[in-house]
Structure 1
Amino acid sequence: MIRLVALLAAAVIAGLVAGLMALPLIGGAGVTARNVVQSFERLPETMDTPPLPQRSQILASDGSVIATLFYQNRVEIPLQSVAPVMRQATVAIEDSRYLDHNGVDVRGTLRAVASNTRSGDVQQGGSTLTMQYVKNVLVNEATNAEELEAARGQSPVRKLREVRYALALERRYSKPEILERYLNIVYFGAGAYGVEAAAKRYFSKTAAELTLPEAATLAGIVQQPTAFDPIRNPERSAKRRDMVLARMTQLGYITKGQAAQAALIPMQVLIKPTIVPNGCTTSYAPFFCDYVLQTIRTDPAFGDTPESREAFLRRGGYTVRTTLNPKAQRGAFEAVTDAIPINDESRRAAAITMMEPGTGNILAMTQNREWGTSGRGKTTYNYNTDRAHGGTIGMQAGSTFKVFTLAAALESGISPTEYISSPSPNTFEGFTNCETGASFGPITVRNSTGQGTFDMARATAYSINTYFMAIEERTGLCRPAEIAESMGVFLGSGEPLLRVPSFTLGSMEVTPLAMANAYATFAAHGVYCKPRSILEIRDRDNRSLDVPDEDCTQVISQDVADGVAAILTGVIDGPITGRTGAAMSLADRPAAGKTGTTNESAAVWFAGFTPDIAAAVWVGDPRGGFAHPMKNLTINGKYYDQVFGGTLPGPIWKQSMTAALEGTDPTPFTLSNEWSLRPARGVTSMSSLLRDPKPGEGSDEFVFDNSAKPTATAPAEPPATGTPDDDSAPTVPEEAPVAAPE
């Protein structure tokens, strides 16, 4: 039987060549029957039919759609979900003898040969619908140019392969099954693969709802999708539609009256197109969306190699439910764009990441930019993330880094109630390389506005540089950096943090995501959780796939973490006049946080948390903070002599937190530590955080110059709003560009 079919195939192929089907000759003598038979018998009898690429959806945590992604815009559906008239139109125009042959229609092929011979051109094809399906599968599975040419090229070998596979498929599947597969794989133009996507693209409806004129239009497109595109070429498409209607009439699928009625409808009236957004670009959370894709591309959980992870995305058909909280995301975007509009003349950028302590879940990630490759206010760089996840090399964090020195100090036994002399300027000569023991030499540091003798709470509230340099000198340089790295903080380039004296002043270039997660670790009593953006992935059959679970580790003791948290609550809610975080006090709940300002205000930050949410905000210039410092400039119509951590990042943080927590019950801090440090909110006496100075210590040495605060941002209540945070030490590098052009 197989040899008989092979002989028939030989006749078909030879006829195609003789009939000017544009097939090249093999050798000088042409195609012989023996060669064809031998080639045919050597071909595999079966063909793999892997799942087709489909659309994937990325969802927020509540199930709402963030983005739709596809390499091929396709939604697979069963044949029962295709209107009967669409099935009839397809068979009528593509393979009217579909129900009568076994995959190879010799009669139809010879008829095509005769027609093409008479015309001297290729006007009729000899491929059956089954053979067309085979060709589409081979094209779809091609991984390189050679395989693609083999699937598309006009050659006897290709035809032989299609015949062989078509015969095998007809034995394996029923006619309805093959028709279903064909309708799901075939390209209908305008980016629509499969009949369901095509119905949506051209008529804004499902394939089950297609009418006769719509079905005839779609069936007519397949032969030449560009030429018969009803949107771009309505007249040619209408003629092709009428040809389909005529063929359906000849075969008895419809009456002449039905065909005439359908042909009366102008194509411009018939077409009601819908464009399906593809990718993160049009999402309301484009940078978070891209972070999810970058996570899949870089995480071995989704494939052992970059190629296999890319194939995971290419196959599609997945529903990815993420950690994103839509309310938090929209509130954060409103906050950054209220502070600095997208197209602001200053060109300054603002970015914020919000996280859930104790889980690693990313709740929001946004910036005052649109996703795009050109134009002011557009970028494809995610200012919240590191280079490996589509971001930048990071930005200097300023005094938000002082929390790591606080933790190291408490851990090493330095008492929070110990008063330390902190003059300005002050020279430090005791710093040594924590690995080699080599001395760094004398380092001189100054404070922004104050000097005196401080305990931890006051020094943190005022962000006293010389105090933190003094305790860092005592802890050594290794442990503060080790604590930061244990909380996921590395350079934006992915490299380890530098063990240098300016560490505590925030000379390291890091990301808002890393800082938000570090502060979330303090909120979670010292438990660090790896950042997590994906909760669940389901495939096209609704089967759940393995995704990374919460990955949490106790990296510092609860004593130390809660001690730091208690001190940070005093920055926002404590009674100290002139504290840097006073303006960030939330209306209905306690909070903790820290401002950060680098040399020349090249970058300004605020990082903070409640028990429920941690967030970090960066504001700066993507072109390079030291080349474009935030001094003597106008932002959003308002002039600033200098921008500080409490000027813009702090209010962005407060507005974002307020929006995200709206409608939720306030959660109190529950802090337990050996120093009996308590949260500041609601405490009338700060005796647990602050003690009166001992005789001779005299905190009256501290001088705070209220005139130095930026009056442009200082509301009436609470006092000291927008107080300058601090200027980093001269040891901070002079230039640290973000390397993220707009």
Structure 2
Amino acid sequence: MAGIALPAVGALGLAAKGSVEGFDELPANLKQPPLSQRTTILDSKGDSIATVYSRDRTVVDLKEISPYMQQAIIAIEDARFYQHGAVDLKGVLRAVNRNAQEGGVAQGASTLTQQLVKNVAVEEAGDDPTKVQQATQQTLGRKIRELKYAIQLEEELGKKKILENYLNITFFGQQAYGVEAASQRYFSKSAKDLDVEEAALLAGIVQSPSRYDPLNDPQEATKRRNIVLQRMAEVGDISQAEADKAKDKPLGLDISKPKNGCITAVKNAGFFCDYVREVFLNDPIFGKTKEDRAKIWNQGGLTIRTTMDPKAQKSVQASIKDHVNQKDEVATAATIVEPGTGKILAMGQSRPYGLDIKKNETTINLSVDESMGGGAGYQPGSTFKPIVAAAALEDGMAPTKSYSAPYKMEYPSPISVCGGKNWVNTDGTTLTNENEAEVGPYSMKKATALSVNTYFVQMIADIGICPVTEMAEKMGVERADGAKMGQNPSIALGTQEMSPLTMANAYATFASRGMYCTPVAIESITQRVGETSKSLEVPKSTCSRAMSENTADTINALLRGVVEDGTGTEAGLGSGRPSAGKTGTTDFRYAAWFVGYTPNMAGAVWVGDPAHKRRMVNITIGGVPYAKVFGGKVPGPIWRDMMSGALEGKPNPDFNRVYIPEDRPDRGRGDDDNDNGNGNGNGGGNDDNGNGDDGDNDDGFIGGADGDTTFPTPEFSIPENWIQGQTNGGNNGNGNGGGFG
């Protein structure tokens, strides 16, 4: 055999070589077959979320397989396994005689070792029909290759290892690959616990898994089982009496249905599971090409520990269930991330993971971008406004900036965009505020609390569009469909489609005082290869500064006002848990949002029609009728309830507090020498502490003694821990200190 030249074998990755040296090279995958196995996905606590596999298999050692199973498979497939070498010459002569009579390849006479060679080829072929055909074609060339490699395997592995590999690679029907998976599927027990009649049934299936399927044809399966039992008696593995007794027993099936894929995920974590799969298939850290990554994923044997916090996940799904029904015309999706780490803690939606459209099931992950298994995204509405404000503050705008903010206005024109160009309102496009009563002038704090459209459009007109899109990029904000961000002032009103994960992680930047961290879902991965395990490198969150701490602190102060006395009061977590956030409602009410955070968790909630067809007017959601849906009315309470549960028992840190005067641009300010510090509000304190003529008696801020201007400059917000009416200002604002009206 050693002198035979082999043709190419694509499925085994072998090249055609005419030399003895080339022929003698044994592929490593024949010694240690890369068997695909199930992959287990865990939450952050180590509990299983789901099991996924391309082939359901659990590799076990030979000592973990019942002796009856070992005897049964040898008796029916290769009774002289321990007597002959890699090739059973008696079987070969018998097959040659039969094939000559038939004029083709009618009988194989393959030993277990030869079958192992073929099964490795089939395993490597995967789902490629061309490679599968090459690995199983009935040709003399394939039989010769099997003989050659079988000889080498016998020399290098030995009988017991060959038997172990064979029992782990063989297909037993019903999606079960390997004897352990088959034992669990048909009898709900481990392979080490199989009794003689159970082992005989499994051994009989191997020749034709469809024909001898005990679920589809129990009578045919019983006949085949009894043939195996009789063969075991004939070769002396069991007595005839034992065989006869076993033949009289029923099949005794105890079926465990296959549980494969994210559709079987527990804790309503199907979409989180699906996102983990998408991360694996898309991140180059797991392989240079998508094909490389898919091969590793399909090979399986992975234990993936994720960032999913079970308490947060449970709270998200409970809140969703309380507020939005599965069969509602609109849906909701929610995501929670951890500021400062990028860890995705929870991800859920009202339409479950599944394929039954009639039940409103879907496999589209409404929380993520299109490239990661999501949709094309949804306009975030006014939840984008804080990004505009952050860009303005970074550009040097004072947090007390006031604009006329009329109820209705034309978009200002021209407005600068990236690349040194201008956007021009050529057709007189106008915009309005939500209510006719919303008429300025407004300060930044009030405009944010009330979500005044015209204020933020005037703001973006002042600073230009480019600083806003650049700030969005620094905060990881991008369109869900992968397109470039539009260079249009309407961006200030949230007209670019985003995903809930994107918005939650962007707001986490505010919570972490300006540090943006890329989102991550995987903590660690261990892969079992053969009998060994190894750790795989996983994506790490990378953090970068998107804005100054002062800017982030100021945004936090602005957004605290939204939940304290603005449009998001129904989302407030109560006085015991400081929170901040922003509502968002799009034109025509196709989508409504609430995005908010505490210093240690950030979350986004979207409600709307994924198809962008059903307006949320005169609609019933969660059994409650609504004339109009607002961001603070439906998404806000969902956010409140999911965050309350997720944060239960967690630390309760506070924000770095800053104070933003409402009307600061109009106040007076004392000079170094002898001004009275007259101004509109916020005058001096009592006695010697800098009375401003028009001020109240409790809000005065002054410079230090002798004109030392130790207060913050007008471009920045004032820390709340500044004490009212500090030292030595002089009565009525007179004196070296100067009053600060």
Task: Give TM-score, length-normalised by structure 1.
Answer: 0.83
After TM superposition, list the pairs within 5 Å mapping 1:635-650 onto structure 2.
635-650=621-636
**Match of residue 404, structure 1, among 387, 396, 405:** 387
Q: Which residue of 2 aligns with 1:367?
A: 349
Aligned to 2:718: none
Identity over the aligned pairs, expressed in percent? Answer: 44
Say which is worse superposed, 613-622 or 689-698, in terms of deviation. 689-698
Pick one of 363, 370, 379 that aligns with 2:362.
Answer: 379
Is contact 1:40–1:164 with CA below 8 Å preserved after alignment?
A: no
Q: 2:289 aligns with which of 301, 305, 315?
A: 305
Q: Assess, with a 3 A threshold, how the Cα gap between structure 1 residues 146 and 398 changes in structure 2: closer, same or farther.
A: closer
- Judge which range, 442-451 or 283-292, deviates more: 442-451
Out of 531, 534, 552, which is 2:519 matched to? Answer: 531
Alignment check: 8 A CA contact 2:105 2:138 kept: no
Question: What is aligned with 1:48?
Answer: 28
Q: Distance in 1 between matches of 2:78 and 2:423?
A: 85
Question: Displacement, 1:405?
Answer: 1.4
Are 2:448 and 1:448 equivalent residues in the alignment? no
- Once the two structures are superposed, what CA deviation does each residue of 1:391-438 show, in whole Å capped at 9, x if it has no partner? 122111110011011112222222223433322123343442323433
The answer to whether the 8 A contact 1:397-1:598 is kept is yes
Conserved? CA contact 1:45–1:165, under 8 Å: no
What is the aligned partner in structure 2 of residue 557 from structure 1? 548
Report the Cα distance in structure 1 between the residues aligned to 2:102 and 2:534, rounded to whole angstroms: 54
1:656 to 642, 645, 670: 642
Contact 2:412 2:458 in 1 (8 A): no
Letter paired with 1:278: N
The alignment covers a number of residue pairs equal to: 646
Q: What corresponds to 1:181 in structure 2?
A: 165
Q: Is the 8 A contact 2:446 2:662 kept in 1?
A: no
2:566 counterpart of 1:584: no
Matched residue SS, 1:281: helix
Asked if 1:545 is matched to 2:536, the reply is: yes
Other structure's SS at 1:292 match:
helix
Question: Which residue of structure 1 aligns with residue 733 of structure 2?
Answer: none
- Paired position in structure 1 for 2:651: 665
Change (3 A) 1:689 1:653: farther
The answer to whether residue 333 in structure 2 is matched with residue 351 in structure 1 is yes
Q: Is residue 227 of structure 2 the alignment partner of residue 243 of structure 1?
A: yes
Q: Distance in 1 between matches of 2:618 and 2:592?
A: 15
| Structure 1 contact 357–523 (Cα < 8 Å) conserved | yes
Which stretch of structure 1 is more off in the superposition, 156-165 or 38-47?
38-47
Q: Of 323, 332, 335, which aligns to 2:307?
A: 323
Alpha-carbon distance change, 500 to 294 in structure 1, aligned in 2, over 3 angstroms: same
Query: Structure 2: how far apart are the matches of 1:433 and 1:456?
Result: 22
CA gap of 1:261–1:502, structure 2 versus 1, over 3 A, is same
Partners of 1:287 and 1:371 within 8 A in 2 = yes
Deviations 1:261-318 (A, max 9, x none): 2112112xx1101123111112121111111111111111111111111112111111
Native 8 Å contact 2:562 2:582 kept in 1: yes
Correspondence 1:106 to 2:86: no
Partners in 1 of 2:651 and 2:130 — Cα distance?
A: 62
Partner residue in 1 for 2:585: 597
Report how far residue 60 of structure 1 moved. Answer: 0.9
> CA 1:258–1:670 in structure 2 vs 1: closer, same or farther (change >3 Å)?
farther
- The one of 489, 495, 504 aligned to 1:501: 489
CA distance in 2, matches of 1:510, 1:172: 58
Q: Does residue 228 in structure 1 map to residue 212 in structure 2?
A: yes
Q: Secondary structure, in 3 states, of the residue corresponding to 2:603? A: strand
Distance in 2 between residues matched to 1:220 and 1:339, nearest whole Å: 54
Question: Are residues 1:190 and 2:178 paired?
Answer: no
Residue 390 of structure 1 deviates from its aligned partner by 1.1
**2:400–2:661 Cα contact (<8 Å) kept:** no
Which of 38, 53, 66 pairs up with 1:83?
66
Q: Amino acid of the residue matched to residue 452 of structure 2?
A: I
* Residue of structure 2 in register with 1:465 after alignment: 453
Question: Partner of 2:397 in structure 1?
Answer: 414
Corresponding residue to 1:628 among 591, 614, 621: 614
Q: Which letter maps to 1:226?
A: S
Is 2:381–2:586's contact at 8 Å kept on the other side of the alignment?
Answer: yes
Counterpart CA distance in 2 for 1:411 and 1:157 is: 73
- The answer as to 2:471 corresponding to 1:511 is no
Deviation, 1:505, is 0.9
2:274 aligned with 1:290: yes
Shift in CA distance, 550/229, structure 1 to aligned 2, threshold 3 Å:
same
AA aligned opposite 2:363: T
Q: Read off the aligned partner of 1:163 and give its amino acid letter.
A: L
Matched, 1:70 2:53: yes
> Does residue 273 of the first structure (1) align with residue 237 of the second (2)?
no
| Contact residue 431 and residue 476 of structure 1 kept, 8 A | no
- The answer to whether the 8 Å contact 1:453/1:697 transfers is no
The separation in 2 between residues aligned to 1:227 and 1:623, in whole angstroms, is 45
1-structure distance, mates of 2:638, 2:217: 50
- Pair 101,565 (structure 1): closer, same or farther in 2 beyond 3 Å: same
CA distance in 1, matches of 2:144, 2:98: 21
Displacement of 1:47 after TM fit? Answer: 3.3
Q: Residue 571 of structure 1 contacts residue 594 of structure 1 at CA under 8 Å; is this kept in 2?
A: yes
How many Å apart are 1:664 and its aligned residue?
A: 2.2
Aligned 8 A contact 2:405 2:455 in 1:
yes
8 Å Cα contact 2:51/2:261 also seen in 1: yes
State the Cα distance separating 1:190 from its structure 2 match. Answer: 0.7
Helix, strand or coil for the counterpart of 1:395? coil
Higher RCO (CA 8 Å, separation ≥ 6 residues): 1
**Contact conserved, 2:2 with 2:20, CA < 8 A, in 1?**
no
Question: 1:494-534: CA deviations, max 9, x gaps?
Answer: 12211211111111111111100100011011111111011
Aligned partners of 1:370 and 1:428: how far apart in 2? 42
Q: Is the 8 A contact 1:385 1:391 kept in 2?
A: yes
Name whichever of 234-243 and 448-457 sits farther off: 448-457
Report the Cα distance in structure 2 between the residues aligned to 1:255 and 1:221, rounded to whole angstroms.
22
Between stretches 580-589 and 167-176, larger displacement belongs to 580-589
- Alignment-derived partner of residue 116 in structure 2: 133
Q: 2:245 aligns with which of 257, 261, 264?
A: 261
Q: Distance in 2 between matches of 1:552 and 1:229?
A: 55
The one of 40, 50, 62 aligned to 1:57: 40
Kindly indicate whether the alpha-carbon contact (under 8 Å) linking 1:329 and 1:363 is maintained by their aligned counterparts in 2.
yes
Return closer, same or farther for 1:633/1:71 CA change in 2, 3 Å cut-off.
Answer: same
How is 1:154-165 mapped onto 2 (pairs within 5 angstroms)?
154-165=138-149
**Given residue 494 of structure 1, which amino acid in structure 2 is its aligned partner?**
G
TM-score by length of 2: 0.83
- CA spacing shift, 1:121–1:38, aligned 2, 3 Å: closer
Q: Is the 8 A contact 2:42 2:304 kept in 1?
A: yes
Do the aligned partners of 1:485 and 1:497 also contact (CA within 8 Å) in 2? no
Task: List runs of 5+ in structure 2 lacking aligned partners.
Answer: 7-16, 668-677, 683-741
Correspondent of 2:599 among 611, 617, 630: 611
1:40-59 Cα offsets, whole Å, 9 max, x none, are 99855523324111111111
Provide Cα deviations, 1:143-170, integer angstroms capped at 9, x if missing partner.
Answer: 6444322321111111111111111111
Please give the alpha-carbon distance, in whole angstroms, between the structure 2 residues aligned to 1:231 and 1:398: 55
